[in-house]
Amino acid sequence: MNTGPDVIDLRRRRLIGGVAAAATLVQLGPSAPASAQSASPVQPAIRPGTGQSFGPLKQTDAGLLNVAYVEQGPADGSPVILLHGWPYDIHSFADVAPMLAAAGHRVFVPYLRGYGATRFLSGDTVRNGQPSALAVDVIDFMNALRIERPVVAGFDWGARSADIVAALWPERVRALVAVSGYLIGNQEAGKMPLPPRAELEWWYQFYFATERGRIGYEKNRGDFNKLIWQLASPRWNFDEATYARSAAAFDNPDHVDIVIHNYRWRLGLADGERKYDELERQLSAGPTISVPTITLEGDANGAPHPDPASYRKKFTGRYAHRHIEGGIGHNLPQEDPSAFVKAVIDVAGS
């Protein structure tokens, strides 16, 4: 794999002991974070899935939403915002959040629009799932709680929102952790056909493009999303209680509208809102990300995801990529919380 003369190949090294036991680090380029090269605070290893309930949620009005969220850690701690994806919820960070709080971070885990107890403030607001709208939600949440320059970290939809916030508002972001790397796209790119095997991986996107798919998802979302979990993380043996805890978030009255609009928008089958046109124009150019970044990828991710070599040059600041071994799938924070926590701690210290 030719990654160019500017890339220093330090080979994959199995990190030994404690929180690093599950992670293999690949440092890319002379701009890799100093914290990834030196010793970092070591958190105790944790068995995935041991996290239970978060306890009472907090609520705040932020932009178009009343956002339900969890907050943990000291009030004066360095802030971290954790963003979940589809079809998951805040419990993807049930182990991650308390570990980061114990390390001194002030941790915020919001439900995205269309999930859990987050609600639109107005019944007239368009139930819009386009990426720029979701990213603006993050900025509105930061403004509402006066969160200054957090580490923003996420996976799936959450990683995309984190990427967008870091790209368009770098002055608001201290550092970034993104599972599957650079996920910023646009409608024009979404219209381009892929090789057949790649198209097969996006079967649900085409299903959602039909009215049959919308009705099917409305009727069968519990079984549907469990299937996505199984396909995206084929070696993750989650139990029924773990799934049921997250599945409750899909009962949000706006969930189906947001999910269907998101995937139809990607294919150019649904319009966005004009107020986001300028943001989408900037995103269509594929902006680079200058904040310190660590990207992660599990070795058993069954969901569509890009090759790390394809997005290396999108990160122009201090950067490292970590390949996480051990049968880790798409929901990396829940499947290997220790590796995710270590990435946040390392990038926060860069």
**Residue 227 clears pLDDT 70, i.e. is over it:** yes
By CB neighbour count within 10 A (0-12 exposed, 13-18 middle, 19+ buried), where does 117 fall?
A: middle
pLDDT at 51: 56
**Residue 13 clears pLDDT 60, i.e. is over it:** no
| Joined tokens for residue 289 | 């990300």
Query: pLDDT (tens digit, 9 = 90+) per residue, 58-88?
Result: 999 999 999 999 999 999 999 999 999 999 9
Helices (H), 267-348: 277-284, 308-311, 332-335, 337-348
pLDDT at 41: 40
Contact 258, 113 (CB under 8 A): yes
Question: Where on the phi/psi map is residue 116: left (φ > 0), alpha (ψ -120 to 50), or beta?
Answer: left
Q: Provide the pLDDT confidence category of residue 34 given band limits of 50, 70 and 90.
A: very low
pLDDT at 5: 32
DSSP-derived secondary structure letter, 29 = S
Q: How many CB atoms lie within 10 A of CB 31?
A: 17
Least reliable range by pLDDT among 187-191, 195-199, 334-338: 187-191
**Cα–Cα distance measured from residue 92 to residue 100, given in angstroms and rounded to the nearest whole number:** 14
For the chain, the average pLDDT equals: 88
Q: Which of 120, 117, 111, 119 is nearest to 87 (CA)?
A: 111
The radius of gyration of the chain from alpha carbons, rounded to an integer in Å, stands at: 19
Query: pLDDT (tens digit, 9 = 90+) per residue, 252-311?
Result: 999 999 999 999 999 999 999 999 999 999 999 999 999 999 999 999 999 999 999 999
Length of the chain: 350
